């Protein structure tokens, strides 16, 4: 009798356990993705390289669980890369990159290659920010800091062909596009060649200078997550409109400076003499023309 009652109790317990297990697994009780799966998603966001992608990658890496020493070093390396790229994008957009650069500086010693990380951090800090977002004195100071490092920059870019890391290539293109001094034989397209297939490198080329509107439009159509492209396309349109207005003003100024046409009248003859006298007075001096304002961005 006791054996029968015990069997019933055990059977009921097993049934309850099975029901609870089924309820848990059917109601969102699935396991958390593995660390490898989480890293795969975060790495994909870094490779995509849009502003929101990089921001999300940083959040994901900060939220990853701690693992072995080797796993933590690998995670810190990828987090460092995401922070550097995010800080560079913030500079391009006129946002404050100081927080992410500071976080990258704290992580650099914990990466798989601390010396290389410190070098990337150094140049990321020297890339000038979008001057449209800064007071003129601050923008000039940033460009002067890069100019002071010109010799080191020339040395870095001399070995650019051997740099295949997309972060290094992105830095090289950014430095070449932002420099206020000539870099002979250092065309951005040449510097981008080792990682030209990477979206982040294609993006930086499309926003380098003011003559890549078609490339930027094509890139934005292929990579819709780069919503920041709308900002640069607006800058391109503004630059084009400003140039057109300046050209019309220049033509209007030339027409207004022509001599009167009254050939047979005294006024016409006097005007002609006055015009020729003005020519003689201006001889040897460069004609002063209206110069269109220089658009501060794109860089």
Query: How do residues 133-145 score in pLDDT, each as one tens digit?
Result: 899 999 999 999 9
Element (H, E) at 136: helix 136-148
DSSP 95: -
Tell me the pLDDT tens digit for each residue of 222-244.
999 999 999 988 877 776 555 55
Asked whether residue 269 is domain-assigned, the answer is no
Q: What residues make up the domain containing 167?
A: 35-235
Asked whether residue 6 is domain-assigned, the answer is no
Asked whether residue 53 is domain-assigned, the answer is yes
What is the number of domains present in the chain? 1
Asked whether residue 245 is domain-assigned, the answer is no
Asked whether residue 71 is domain-assigned, the answer is yes
2 or 132: which leads in pLDDT? 132
pLDDT at residue 8 greater than cutoff 90 = no
Contact (CB, 8 A) for 116 and 106: no
Tell me the pLDDT tens digit for each residue of 72-127.
999 999 999 999 999 999 999 999 999 999 999 999 999 999 999 999 999 999 99
In the chain, % of residues over pLDDT 90: 59
pLDDT range class, residue 33, cuts 50, 70, 90: confident
pLDDT at residue 54 greater than cutoff 80 = yes
Task: Calculate mean pLDDT across residues 2-25.
Answer: 48
Cα 29 from Cα 93, distance rounded (Å): 42
Asked whether residue 27 is domain-assigned, the answer is no
pLDDT range class, residue 213, cuts 50, 70, 90: confident
Asked whether residue 181 is domain-assigned, the answer is yes
Quick one: pLDDT at residue 21?
46
Dihedral sign for Cα atoms in the order 114, 120, 126, 130: negative
SS3 content of the chain, % helix, strand, coil (to 5): 70, 0, 30
Could you give the angle at which helices 150-158 and 136-148 cross, rounded to 10 degrees? 60
- Mean pLDDT of the chain, nearest integer: 80
pLDDT at residue 275 greater than cutoff 60 = no
Asked whether residue 263 is domain-assigned, the answer is no
SS3 of 64, please? coil
Task: Calculate mean pLDDT across residues 244-266.
Answer: 55
């Amino acid at each position: 009798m006791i054996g029968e009652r015990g069997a019933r109790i055990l059977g009921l317990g097993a049934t309850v356990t099975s029901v609870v297990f089924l309820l848990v697994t059917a109601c969102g009780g699935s396991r958390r993705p593995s660390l490898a799966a989480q890293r795969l998603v975060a790495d994909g966001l870094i490779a995509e390289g849009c502003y929101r992608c990089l921001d999300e990658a940083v959040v994901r890496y900060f939220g990853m669980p701690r693992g072995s020493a080797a796993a933590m070093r690998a995670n810190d390396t990828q987090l460092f890369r995401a922070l550097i790229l995010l800080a560079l994008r913030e500079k391009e957009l006129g946002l404050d990159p100081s927080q992410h650069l500071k976080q990258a500086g704290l992580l650099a010693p914990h990466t798989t290659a601390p010396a290389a990380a410190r070098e990337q951090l150094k140049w990321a800090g020297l890339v000038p920010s979008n001057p449209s977002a800064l007071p003129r004195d601050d923008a000039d100071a940033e460009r002067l800091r890069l100019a002071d490092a010109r010799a080191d920059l020339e040395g870095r870019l001399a070995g650019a062909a051997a740099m295949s890391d997309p972060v290094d290539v992105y830095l090289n293109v950014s430095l070449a596009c932002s420099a206020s001094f000539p870099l002979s034989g250092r065309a951005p397209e040449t510097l981008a060649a080792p990682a030209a297939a990477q979206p982040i490198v294609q993006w930086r080329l499309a926003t380098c200078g003011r003559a890549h509107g078609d490339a930027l439009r094509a890139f934005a159509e292929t990579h819709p997550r780069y919503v920041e492209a709308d900002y640069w396309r607006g800058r391109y349109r503004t630059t084009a409109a400003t140039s057109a207005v300046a050209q019309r003003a220049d033509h209007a100024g030339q027409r207004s400076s022509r001599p009167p046409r009254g050939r047979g009248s005294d006024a016409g003859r006097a005007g002609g003499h006055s015009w020729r006298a003005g020519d003689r007075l201006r001889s040897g001096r460069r004609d002063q023309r209206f110069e269109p304002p220089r658009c501060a961005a794109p860089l």
